[in-house]
Structure formats: structure tokens, C-alpha cells
Amino acid sequence: MRPPKPWDVEAGTSGAPPLYPSMLESPQLRWAFIRKVYSIISIQLLLTVAVAAVIVTVHPISHFFVSTPAGLALYICLLVLPFITLCPLYFCYQRHPVNFLLLGLFTVSLSFGIGLTCAFTSGKVILEAAILTSVVVVSLTLYTFWAARRGHDFSFLGPFLFGALLVLLVFAFIQLLFPLGRLSVMIYGALAAIIFCGYIIYDTDNLIKRYTYDDYIWAAVALYLDIVNLFMSLLTLLRAADS
């Protein structure tokens, strides 16, 4: 019996089958890139859980942020800081270790906002949202890898998801100015969860096919934001249903 033919190194398929049918690059390099991105995301999520857990368990921290003028000002700064951090990160994403320092600052500042939201939410709702987020993220990730292997492409989702995100932002702005009640909050949470489920598929597909090897920071930021926003959307939905 003849041994199986090895994959062609020059064709970029040595040692492993391609991740998708038209793949020309080396699967080993792409898998190494994917592992690097998911390692960064795992560290970001662990850091987020640690920061949020401290804020939830140490009650004086949350009370300081919501009951004093200095705390409110600091809270607003922490909400704006992640967006400010993305600007220098855009220009320094290939400069090590500056890129990781900026990424850590982005993650920690965003984690404070998540922790303060969880501090005023029941533990049952937080646990339900965390379990749902974990199940959905793992399921959609596995599905996207399975679909990519069979030739499916999800790049067409980009314009639709961007348009849906704009509608969601306008909806949130209207809700902020003219509160429409608990039902509208539940609708907002459900729509946001659906949109970020789509973004998980879209960004995972980009991770498999389109990101270059130098884009590991941006790939990690995109998927991390998808996961965090999905969790916050489910938290909003479940908290409105529980109240």
C-alpha cells in the first residue's frame, strides 16, 4: 500500500489540510496565527474577569464611582479611554512591546465599565449571561471553521452588520433621551445579541482567510469586542427580564 502523498510545501499545504478550499498559504502559518490571536483573547478575557470580579466583590469601589463627583468623572474617563487608546494602537500595533501595553490599557479600562455594570446586577443574571455567551461563542466559532472548510464565505455580512450596528446605535441614543420602558430595553438587548453573533462569524471568517500575520492585535481586538458586546447585550436583556 502506497503512503499518502505529502502536501506541497511551495503550495502552502505542507503537513495539514487547508482551512478552506482556495487556500494558497501554509496552513501551519495560519494555524500559528490563529493560536496566537486566541491566546491574546484568552488573556484579555481573564483580565476582564479579574477586574470585574474585584469591582463586584469590593463594594466600596462601585459606590465610589456612582456616589461621588470624582468617581463619576473618573467613570466617564474610563468609558472614553478605550476609544482613545485605539488611536495610538492603530499606529503602534506592530511596535513591540508598545502594542501590548496599549492593548492591556484598552482591556483594563473597558473591564472597569463591565465590572461596574455587573456590580449592580444580580449574580444569577451575570451567571446566565456568562454561560450563554460561552456556549454561543464556542458554537459559532466551531461552525465558522466548519463552514470555511466546506467553502462557505461570510464576507458579504460586513455591510449588513455595519448598517445594523448603526441602527442599534441610533436606537440606544433614542432610548437614552426618551426611555421607552422595559420592553424596549429587552428588544435592544435581543437585537444587539443577534448583531454581535453575526460579527463573531464575520470576524472569525476574517481570522481564517483575510487577516495578515501582522494583524494579530486587530484580530484579537475585533473578536474580544464581539465577545464582550455579546455578553453585555445578553446581560441587558436578562436584567430587563428579571427586573
- pLDDT at residue 132 greater than cutoff 90: yes
Q: Specify whether the CB–CB gap between 113 and 78 falls below 8 A.
A: yes
CA dihedral 74, 75, 80, 85 (to 10 degrees): 70
pLDDT attached to residue 4: 43
Give 121's Cβ-side CA count (13 Å radius).
27
Phi-psi group of 23: left, alpha or beta (phi > 0 → left; psi -120 to 50 → alpha; rest → beta): beta
Average pLDDT over residues 41-68: 89
25 or 226, greater pLDDT: 226
For residues 182-195, average pLDDT: 90
Q: What is the pLDDT of residue 46?
A: 96
Does the bond joining 97 to the residue before it have cis omega, within 30 degrees of 0? yes
pLDDT tens for each residue of 58-69: 888 888 877 778
Q: From its phi and psi, is residue 12 left (phi > 0), alpha (psi between -120 and 50) or beta?
A: left
What residues does each domain of the chain span? 27-242
Whole-number pLDDT of residue 7: 45
Phi-psi category of residue 73: left, alpha or beta, with phi > 0 → left and psi -120 to 50 → alpha: alpha
Taking each helix axis from N to C end, the angle separating 98-119 and 59-67, rounded to the nearest 10 degrees, works out to 90
Neighbour-count burial of 170, counting CB atoms closer than 10 A to its CB (0-12 exposed, 13-18 middle, 19+ buried) = exposed
Whole-number pLDDT of residue 5 = 44
Q: How far apart are CA 27 and CA 10, in angstroms?
A: 12
Residue 14 clears pLDDT 70, i.e. is over it: no
Locate cell 474577569: which residue? Answer: 49
Higher pLDDT, 147 or 174: 147
With beta carbons less than 8 A apart as the criterion, state whether 51 and 106 touch.
Answer: no
**pLDDT at site 216:** 92
What is the rounded end-to-end Cα distance, in angstroms, of the chain? 68
pLDDT at residue 2 above 60?
Answer: no
* Contact yes or no for 207/219 (Cβ under 8 A): yes
67-126 pLDDT per residue, tens: 778 778 888 888 888 888 888 888 887 888 888 999 999 999 999 889 988 988 888 999
Q: What is the pLDDT of residue 15?
A: 58
